[in-house]
Copies of this chain bind each other. A is one copy, B any other.
Amino acid sequence: MPILDLSQISIVSRSSYPGQLAEAVSGRSWQALGDVGGITQFGVNLVFIEPGSASSLRHYHLEQDEFAMMTEGELVLVENEGEIVMRPGDCAAWPAGQENGHHLVNRSDKRAAFLVVGTRTLTETAIYSDIDMMVTDTPGAENNFTRKNGSPLTADQIGDRK
């Protein structure tokens, strides 16, 4: 049956962020529900954020639509226009190419979770709002982190956790 047994799906945690930048998401983990269910056109993850951690560095995507629904706890959505608290049932959508950097931060004392959907595309670029960094994905060369002008990140930059 295509129903997913969440109790049997691995919870994974990793980050491709270079250097110290990964610390911002050290309390992030997820279950790859879409992958486990065999779908490929969009990704669906159930993401868990521990207190003090964030869903990502604040960013936006150039090619991929994103959508999220809160399922547990409380997270603060941080965007260009400010901050808003999200609770279970709250939803947000980020159309591809809209230059509105966003992430979800857990400032509570309990674990929080959300379901997130993102299109799968062969190529992608994400732009980080608060630091001089972008990441490009092309077939065979994924997670290519650079400065926004394409030049290599400096050691100094990837120790920068603002």
Residues of A within 8 A of B (CB): 1-4, 6, 33-34, 36-42, 44, 46, 64-67, 69, 71, 77, 79, 81-82, 84, 86, 89-96, 98, 100, 102, 115, 117, 119
Contacts and interface: CB of A to CB of B under 8 A. Distances in A.
A94 B2 contact: yes
7 contacts: A1-B77, A1-B79, A3-B77, A3-B90, A39-B94, A41-B42, A44-B67
Contacts of A44: 67, 91, 93, 117
Contact of A37 (B1, B2, B86, B93): B93
The oligomer's copy count stands at 2
B65 A2 contact: no
B89 A71 contact: yes
Contacts of A1: 77, 79, 81-82, 84, 92
Given A37-B67, A67-B33, A93 B2 contact: yes
Given A1-B79, A34-B67, A115-B115, A93 B6 contact: no
A34 B95 CA distance: 9
Given A67-B33, A67-B34, A93 B40 contact: no
A65 B117 CA distance: 12
A119 B41 contact: yes
A93 B4 contact: yes
A119 B100 CA distance: 23
A79 B2 contact: yes
